[in-house]
Amino acid sequence: MGVMQDLGLNAAMLAEKLAAARVLVVGDVMLDRYWFGDVSRISPEAPVPVAKIARSEERAGGAANVARNIAGLGGKASILSVVGDDEAANALEALLVRDGIATSLKRDANISTTVKLRVVARQQQLIRLDFEDTPSHEILADKLQEFAAIVGEHDVVILSDYGKGGLTHVEEMIRLARAAGKPVLIDPKGDDYSKYAGATLLTPNRSEFRQVAGSWRDEDTLTRKAQDLREELNLDALLVTRSEEGMTLFRAEGALHQPTLAREVYDVSGAGDTVIGTLGLALAAGLTLPVAMSLANAAAGVVVGKLGTAVCTQQELLAL
């Protein structure tokens, strides 16, 4: 049996529910640039490979990739973020508009849009170059004002924290969203989760959770640490994504584990975006958290089989 059958979901009815669901994504957006080429020699200037570039690609990354995943699954995604007033921002906005995402990108002339440039040869990443700045206080305050104005128009809020400064007002955003009766899902960063207190759900990966809670020897220790953190932060749930071990959902009712559904792991970059995007859309569509987790696990299994920041389409999900 497939995932859809196991969950007792009708594909046509699910597609209809997803199409009506509205998710607001807020956080750090970036432009992922890929330069693809071939390496046939070592530079005479230094012991490094020389890549002859044959083609390039641009993709929306960071929080923008979360929005792409929601749109790819047939949902209504809005993105609120800060970018520079530059060519990279224009390229990023064009990509988002092309995918049918409602964009509100606050332009800050004093910063550069975050860009991650990857040079890839023979399906191997040779180097990644990052360009990034921290947004100004005035632009962030303007973004917070707009968040307060539009949060009520959405069913679920996703805060995607990549540690670039776009979620400086995360505590106030959580407060505003919860006051409006909207679930708040957060992809966290750093070693201080106190700022995320009161959110509905956090989705740290295994290494991120270890950074906050410390290591564990067995499942019982992991469960205790996860439940302690969930209670300390007053969360409804905590979802720890565990790479090849699958993912585990911790709620007051207990822990629920699902093994990975990935058939082939080609590239894990962006998998966390797929997980939280699918979770948020499924909850916005009225599905339960365990069902949303199953769909997110299935979607992540599709994405890790693709190169770079990729999405799981609605057709791919419904076919599972």
Exposure pattern of 221-234 as b/e (b: 16+ CB <10 Å)? ebbebbbebbeebe
Residue 264 has pLDDT above 90, yes or no: no
Distances in whole angstroms, Cα of residue 245 to Cα of each of 7, 154, 209, 272, 301: 21, 33, 14, 14, 12
pLDDT at 188: 95
Give the C-alpha separation, 237 to 270, whole Å.
22
Which is more confident, 105 or 10? Answer: 105
pLDDT at 266: 66
pLDDT at 192: 92
Residue 3 has pLDDT above 90, yes or no: no
Residue 195 has pLDDT above 60, yes or no: yes
Which is more confident, 173 or 265? Answer: 173
Q: Residue 268 — very low, low, confident or very high, per pLDDT cuts 50/70/90?
A: confident
Give the C-alpha separation, 38 to 302, whole Å.
27
Specify whether the CB–CB gap between 304 and 262 falls below 8 A: yes
pLDDT at 243: 85
* Among 67-71, 89-93, 114-118, 313-317, the least confident range: 313-317
For 163-168, what is the mean pLDDT?
93
Could you tell me which of 228, 245, 249 has the C-alpha nearest to residue 237? 249
pLDDT at 262: 65
What is the tens place of the pLDDT at every residue in 43-97? 999 999 999 999 999 999 999 999 999 999 999 999 999 999 999 999 999 999 9
Residue 5 has pLDDT above 90, yes or no: no
Give the C-alpha separation, 83 to 135, whole Å.
8
Total length of the chain: 320
What is the tens place of the pLDDT at every residue in 11-36? 899 999 999 999 999 999 999 999 99
For 235-254, what is the mean pLDDT?
94
Average pLDDT over the chain reads: 93
For 174-199, what is the mean pLDDT?
96
- Can 273 be counted among the known catalytic residues? yes
Domains of the chain, by residue range, sit at 3-30+61-113+134-319
CATH architecture of 3-30+61-113+134-319: 3-Layer(aba) Sandwich (3.40)
What is the tens place of the pLDDT at every residue in 129-147? 999 999 999 999 999 999 9
Per-state percent for the chain, helix, strand, coil, to nearest 5:
40, 30, 30
Could you tell me which of 82, 22, 125, 79 has the C-alpha nearest to residue 273? 79
Give the C-alpha separation, 296 to 279, whole Å.
6
Residue 258 has pLDDT above 60, yes or no: yes
Q: Please give the DSSP secondary-structure letter assigned to residue 153.
A: G
